[in-house]
Amino acid sequence: MKIIVTLNVATYYLMTDQPTTCPVCGTRTEIISDFYHTLLQLQINECLNGNCKHVFFEVEDQL
């Protein structure tokens, strides 16, 4: 399967130990696609705030 990631519609954020919250409004988010165990190593999160629905990628800190 070929996965195309369009970089101009989402921003990467680093995973932390804290529950993931929306970087725009601070509401908790839901993982809508989990590619963490693939080569991409990212999760796609969507804000649970119905007025926001910000979608963003979350990646693990590689440092």
The residues that touch Zn ion, with contacts defined as CB under 5 A, are 22, 24-25, 27, 47, 49, 52, 54
Nearest CB to Zn ion, comparing residues 25 and 41:
25
For the CB of residue 45, give the shortest distance to Zn ion in the complex, in Å: 10
DSSP string, the chain: ------GGG--EEE--SSPPB-TTT--BEEEEEE-TTSTT-EEEEEES-TTT--EEEEE----
For the CB of residue 22, give the shortest distance to Zn ion in the complex, in Å: 3
Nearest CB to Zn ion, comparing residues 20 and 49:
49
